[in-house]
Amino acid sequence: MIVKEEGIIAGIEIAKKVFDKFDPELKMTVFINDGAHVKPGDIAFEVEGRVRSLLQTERVMLNIMQRMSGIATVTAKYQERLEGLKTKVLDTRKTTPGLRMLEKEAVKIGGGCNHRIGLFDMILIKDNHVDFAGGIKEAIASAKRYCKETGRDLKIEIEVRNTDEINQALEAGVDRIMLDNFTPERTREAVALINGRVEIESSGGITIDTLRAYGECGVDYISVGALTHSVKGLDMSFKAC
């Protein structure tokens, strides 16, 4: 496995599983582990075994590793922009169908944090939920009632659009407030208003160029869909030697 582009490598452990699942007699020797910074010419691992098995597993393994390494590389760049701040980069559920677990693992390898795996591990009340429920307080009360009735202990996060909704969310009681499509100036005002009472997440159109400005406002998290929904794979090749 020859690296052809600088970045963060990810998917080594998954490659092991691909080879072992297809042909347990394939022997893999690893030289570089997940999360390492790599450059063109680096050899990540070697695999020995039946030629047919090597050729049949090549594309599956490469597709996974290139995709995961691309995500890990981009995530590392985003998190690097926040160096010295408490803010962490979060992924979203904007993932490739069937590859969510691999893509979210790649985010972690790149130094980011996973938001939610699905709809089962945290309640996120979005603007549509608020509107259909009849308001902020009604939506939060409904979520709390659901948790009590089903015996679930889930954190509740709510998306807000203005100062009034922030105040309503704080009064109703939640674990995290998402500031959706706020400017850095409005974010700074919101952070001062919340004053550490709950976790704060910024979201909506934040790019690598604007990331630092939001982090400097004092938010705990910044969620970035671009970590997974539009990433270029890291270039690498699987060659005979």
175 membership: H or E segment, kind and range: none
Asked whether residue 90 carries a pLDDT value surpassing 90, the answer given is yes
Between CA 52 and CA 237 the distance in angstroms is 17
Q: How far is CA 114 from CA 49, 50, 181, in A?
A: 36, 38, 20
pLDDT in tens, 174-195: 999 999 999 999 999 999 999 9
Residues near 150 by Cβ (< 8 Å), separated by ≥ 6?
none
Annotated catalytic residue 59 = yes
Residue among 59, 86, 145, 232 flagged as catalytic: 59
CATH 3.20.20.70 domain residues, the chain? 80-229
Between CA 230 and CA 68 the distance in angstroms is 12
| CB 90, CB 223: distance < 8 Å | yes
Residue among 34, 91, 159, 220 flagged as catalytic: 159
Class of domain 2-78+231-237 as given by CATH: alpha beta
Q: Please spell the DSSP secondary structure of 129-166, one letter per residue.
A: HHHHHTSHHHHHHHHHHHHHHHT----EEEEE-SHHHH
Percent of the chain clearing pLDDT 70 (strictly above): 100
Annotated catalytic residue 155 = no
Residue among 16, 94, 116, 186 flagged as catalytic: 94
Residue among 23, 127, 180, 199 flagged as catalytic: 180
Domain 80-229 has CATH 3.30.70.1380: no
pLDDT in tens, 193-238: 999 999 999 999 899 999 999 999 999 999 999 999 989 999 999 9
Helix (H, G, I), strand (E, B) or coil at 70: helix
CATH 3.90.1170.20 domain residues, the chain? 2-78+231-237
Where residue 241 falls among pLDDT bands split at 50, 70, 90?
Answer: confident
| CB 43, CB 21: distance < 8 Å | no
Which residues are bridge partners to 25 per DSSP?
A: none
